[in-house]
Every structure is written in structure tokens, then in C-alpha cells.
A and B are shown apart, each in its own frame.
Chain A
Amino acid sequence: MVHGELWTVKELFVYPNEYIYWSVQIVMYPFMTGLVAGAFVLSSLYHVFGIKELKDIARFALVFSFALLFVAPVPIILHLQHPFRGINNLMTPHFTSAIAAFGIVFSTYGAIVASELWFLYRRHFVSIAQPLKDKQDKTLGEWIKFFIFCSLTLGVYDVSDESLKKDEKAIKVLAGLGIPVACFLHGYAGFIFGSVKANALWMTPLMPVIFIMSAIVSGIALCMLTYILTMEARKFLSKRKKATQLGHQTSEELQSAEVNVIRMTAKYLLLFLVFAISLELLDLVFRGYTATKSWDVLRSVIYGKDFTNIFILQYTIGNLIPFILFLLPNLTIRRAVLAVVLVMFGVFMMRWNVVVGGQAFSLSFAGYMHYHLPIIPHDWETLKEGFFGALAVFLAPFGLFWIITKIFPVFDVKESH
């Protein structure tokens, strides 16, 4: 069977070789990079613009962005017909292609996040490595720990005020540098679609900007969600520990801190949500108004076949309802969780409607293709390009985050600055 034939159903006149070639993993790809970029921008709001209220979530967002970073290329690799040749992209990049720069943009961005993290956690590394270094006869576990943290310090043990000041400066510069690079990383994912002139739905110069805005929205939403989840866990733990550990933050303290952070972050989320929706609507209105050759088929897809996906799932459930939930006064944690989940769902649907919607009509403009996501896998292809493949990609960053926080703890650490 030809790739794509399994999940494509054709209707009316479709060219014989046309199938839905870009399936769910290509929906996951911009979704995941969007989360990376969004999380990073959120952390930079504090480091660069000094928005104090975001201090708590900033460190958290940065570490989370790092965890997401490793997962972002996975959907592409799962999508490739020859995943082991993916390295060719670095061997012979063909720069007229929007995908060719992926490796370069991506590693630049990764390097920035990693170095920012290093400056942020340098003091923490030293505080662990130093006492172990001085300690005589270490146990095996201590040796391992020493080895890890000693290498992480990169041999720099200077934690004088002066050097910490320098760290702070470096963080600021890196965070500042990171914003355009993060936007580029994601805007460029938008360009991959926006520059396909053969595809009537994708081809618009607005695509990169729309992608960046919705990326920031989804990134902030994900950070808020994970932040709430971890705070809840801490509250739970602190209740249990209360009796034994004095001086630990109490559950009430945590609660009020949490609400404050969430309310503040929600404001920024709303701001970017407004940008994102305005741009998307502008695009839609413009297409209808200019009504070029492709409009007939686009209209039948947008207002007909994909109506539920676009107007109900994406705009109403994914945008309008959370918008109202956030705007209502006295935002509670529970309401925030609901809103944040809906926002992420909305952004996911937006990606879905772009990627799958762009292939919902034939290049002949006289036929349609319907995508049926494979759920129960019965071979390797339906596993990796099916529901479970996508789910694995979505869940992986949470697991990674948990591992990474063992080295970069996000709570109760002394600031490097």
C-alpha cells in the first residue's frame, strides 16, 4: 500500500497520486516547537523585561523549554520515510528549502537555552560539588554525584558576588538573544507551510506570524498547567511534611503565591491570544474578500467540511470560552486549569486545521480528501503516524522534565543572581 492511502478517503476528482502525506506527526511538529518557543518567551519576559511577577514561573519555564527542546525534532523523525537518513539534512543542506536550516536554527537555539540554564544554575552546581570535592573518602553514590556536578560546573567554582553579577548579565543577554531566535525557530516552522505555493490554504505571508503568536499562547498555557500541577504536588507534600519540617513553606503560602503567579501570567496569555486570533481572522477575511481562484474550494472546506473543526473546536471551544474564563474576575486555580487546557486544545486544533485542512482538498480544486487518524496500530507505520505516536510525543516532555529537574531543580534553589 502506498504511504498515505490507508488514512485517506477521496471524494470527487482527485489526482491519482494525491494522498494525505503530511499526517498527525506534522501536526505535532509545529505544536511541539510552538510550546518550546512559547515557554522560552515566557521565561524571557522576566529575565529581559524584568517583569517581577513572572519570576517564579520564569525559571520553571526555562527548564521546561529545555525538556521540550529534545522532543521537538521527534515528530519529524517519526514522520520521515527514511528516518536514519535524517542526518543528510546536516550533511548536504539545500538552502533553498525551508526545512534545510532546521538543524542549524535548532542547534543555535538549543545552545542558547543550555548556556542560559548553565548561568542560572551555576551556583547550584557549585554548592553541591564543592562540599563533595572537599570531602574525604566518598561513597560510590557520592562519587557519581560529584562527577556529574563537577563536570556541570565546567571547572568554574567562583561564586563571589562579582562573578554572580556577571552571570546575571550573561543571562539577560542570552534571554534577549533567545527571543528572536525562539521566534525565528517557530516563525520558520510557519514559513515551511506558508511558502508552499502549491497549497492554496497554506500560502500566506502571515503564516509565520500567526504561528509565532499561537506558539507563545500555547507555550504559556503549558507552563501554567505544569506549574499548577507541580505546585499542587508541593502543597500536598508540604501538608504531609508540616509536622516534621519547620521553616518549609506552608501550604497556604504556596497557595497564595500560586494564585498570584497564575493571574499575572494569564494576562500575558490573553494578550498574545488576542494577537493570534486577530491575525487568523484577518487572513480569513482577506481570502474571502479577494476571492481568488482557489477561494471556491477553500470556502467549501472552511465553511463546509471543516466547519466543526475550525469554528466550533478551534475558535469557540479553544479560543472564545477560555477567553471568557480568563476575563471573568477572581480567577481561581480550577478555572485557570480548565481555561489553559482549552487554550492548548485550541492551538492544537489550529495546527490540525492548517496541516490536515491544507490537504483536505485536491490540487485539482475539484475534489476532497478526508483524513482518518489511525488509532489502533497494526503495523509500525500506523503506530508512529497514528494516535499513539502523537500521544507519546506529547507526553515525552513531561517525563523528560521530571528527569531534568533532578539536575536543574525548579523550586527552592538559591538564585545565581
Chain B
Amino acid sequence: MNRRDFLKNTVKGVAGLGISAAAIEFLNPKDILANINKDTAKVRWAFLVNTYKCVGCGFCVKACKQENEIPYDANVTRTWVERYVITKDGKRYADTPKGARDGFITTKIEMGKDKFQEVKDEDIQKAFFVPKLCNQCENPPCVQVCPVGATYQAPDGVVLVDRTWCIGCGYCIMGCPYGVRFFHPKYHTAEKCNFCYHRITKGLKTACVQACPFGARQIGNIKDPNDPITKIILTERVGILKEEFGTKPQVFYIGLDREVK
């Protein structure tokens, strides 16, 4: 380290101490501004999943992995599709092999590592698919628990992770009741779906919405009364996942079943 670097680092260090002292104040002007923005912001991104339309092809999962550079063979994914099978004698099965990256290519249900369960067609009472992704919760526990503020919520409601600041403690992964978070295999920082933030902020649809051939996935602005998804959410019966955690999810489901975990 030469003298200049040393000086630079010292200045940085002192500035850092200053920041931490400022953060002790309860009313931080930036927070106040963010809160004001929250109410007056013109955009609040929300997602609508129509489970009746989903056939479990997994095109969305594939598209997401490619778009967001999640290593294709890594066993983690920002979005996935679950299959539920309920038999006539009341047995319930669910699986999501590789997050349904390749769709559901066999009727056998995956029961853990290298274990499969055959269910005969005639025994099935009902069966359906449920796509999952980050709920961009209005009251996100993952943001609450991040010790360094690397996970934060944008004024338009999307929860983002700062890869340059995340220390990789995994507290947010523990804090999310939906299990959508994981460590990025390459960057080793917390990772999750962010509604393709780089796309939606430029007026594009998310990669998964675009990839779905059946229109099971839709994204829109819930603050705009004329947005097609806002209309559906306001006029039809929609459900959300795990309401009991008080996270106020912003991914809405049409045709949600009580068996969905």
C-alpha cells in the first residue's frame, strides 16, 4: 500500500465510522424520504399467477435461469413450479424436480434424493401446478433481518439485493418464509427473484412472463387502476401464500388450493 492509498483508506474508514454514527439516529432523512415515496410512488409492481393455465412445462424456469445468469445446472432457481397430486384415498404428494427446469417429464413423484413414487392415473383425485417466485412482500422479513442493509426495498416495492455489500450471513434466507432465497453459486451473495428489475424498469415484461406460452404469469402495476392485472385482482377472487406470516405478499394467485404449501 503506498502513502496515497493509505490516506485514501483512512479517509474511507473515518467516513465509515461517521456513517455508522449517523445511522444510530432513529430518524434518518433517507428513510423518511423513502417512506414518503412509498405512498406517492406511481408504481407498485405486482404479479398474478393463474394456476388453471399452468401446465408445468417449466419454460419460465429455464428462461429465468438464462436471463438472470443462474448457473444452469446448479440446484437453485429464482422461480420454480410445483406439482401437487391428491389421490382418491386422501394421500397428498408434491414435488418440484430441479425446480421444474425441464418441466415434469415423468408421472413419478420425486420423494427426495433418488426416490420416486408412482401414482396411477386412475387413483388421482386432483392434480395441478403452482408456479412460485419472490412475493416482493410489502412487509418483507428478509429486509428487516439483513444486518448491513444489503437487502432493501425499492420505492416501487421490489426487494433488491446489493451484491457488492452482502456479507453472506444467510439471515435473510432464514427469514424468508417462502424459501425463495439462496446463495448465488458464483457471487456467494444472497440471491432471489427481483421481477427482472432490469427489464420491468425499461418497460419490458419479466423473462418468465414472456416465456410462458399459456399466459399463466402476468406482471403489472397495482397502483394503476387500468392495468389488466389490477382489474383482475380487484374484481376476482385471488389468494396469496402464507398469509399468517403477515408479510403481505404481492404475488396473487387465481385458483389457489388449500393443499398448496
Contact = CB atoms under 8 A, between A and B. Distances in A.
Do they bind each other? yes
B244 interface: yes
Contacts of A147: none
B232 interface: no
Contact of A17 (B77, B149, B168): B77
A198 interface: yes
Given A4-B183, A21-B170, A11 B111 contact: yes
A11 B80 contact: no
A97 B183 contact: no
Given A92-B20, A100-B148, A5 B141 contact: no
Interface in B177-218: 177-183, 185, 188-189
A28 B44 CA distance: 42
A102 B148 CA distance: 11
B177 to A, nearest CB: 4
A13 B95 contact: yes
A91 B148 CA distance: 8
A282 interface: no
A318 to B, nearest CB: 25
Contacts of B19: 91-92
A97 B146 contact: yes
Interface in B142-179: 143-150, 165-171, 173-179
B20 A90 contact: yes
B196 to A, nearest CB: 18
Interface in A1-28: 1-5, 9-19, 21-22
Nearest to B28: A95
B94 interface: yes
Contacts of B168: 80-82, 85
B76 interface: yes
Contacts of B170: 21-22, 79, 81
A364 B94 contact: yes
Interface string A63-98: 000000000000010011111011111111111111
Contacts of A195: 145
Interface of A: 1-5, 9-19, 21-22, 76, 79-83, 85-100, 102, 192, 195-199, 293, 362-367
22 contacts: A1-B185, A2-B75, A2-B185, A9-B113, A11-B113, A15-B132, A16-B76, A16-B77, A17-B181, A81-B188, A82-B168, A88-B167, A91-B20, A92-B20, A93-B23, A93-B148, A96-B144, A97-B146, A99-B147, A197-B175, A197-B245, A364-B94
Which 8 residue pairs across A and B have the least CB separation, nearest first? A81-B168, A15-B179, A99-B147, A364-B261, A198-B177, A94-B149, A11-B112, A17-B182
